[in-house]
Amino acid sequence: MTGRLNSAQPYVVGLFRIVVGLLFACHGAASLFGVLGGAVGTHGGTLDAGTWPGWYAALIQLVCGSLVLLGLGTRPAALLASGSMAYAYFDVHQRGALWPIENGGEPSAMFCWAFLLLVFTGSGAFGLDRLVARRAVREPAPAAPETTEAAVPA
């Protein structure tokens, strides 16, 4: 049974990456564009452009979530996303109470750990990272031009 589960691991990691990236990108889209119910606390509205930290967090959510969803630059995008969610938890939510269940920080904590996992596992199956890496392996590097030393008259 372990062998079967291990053989399915890249596919499950790929599906996990797609779902987490999509959910994260949706948070950013809601806050930036007012879709899907809008930004939290705005009654369907958006965040004012450039406001710290909310607007920047939403931009990170949209961009990094989309990159993770596509599996393109998964590890760096997941690292940035994980760090932004750690910041959100410790700077915004933990002020209210210690435990995530008490301070409303459950999504931040879950996204933080989910993205940290993707930093270490990579994109899994179905990611554009694999296509880019496969193409780089197939295409040999261009050969350096041969140089011949010209005879120098003595």
Residue 38: Cβ within 10 Å count: 17
Tokens of 58: 């939403």
- Condensed to tens digits (0 to 9), the pLDDT of residues 61-89 reads 999 999 999 999 999 999 999 999 999 99
What predicted TM-score, i.e. pTM, was given to this entire model? 0.80
1 HSE (CA, 13 A, CB side): 0
- Condensed to tens digits (0 to 9), the pLDDT of residues 85-120 reads 999 999 888 888 888 899 888 999 999 999 999 999
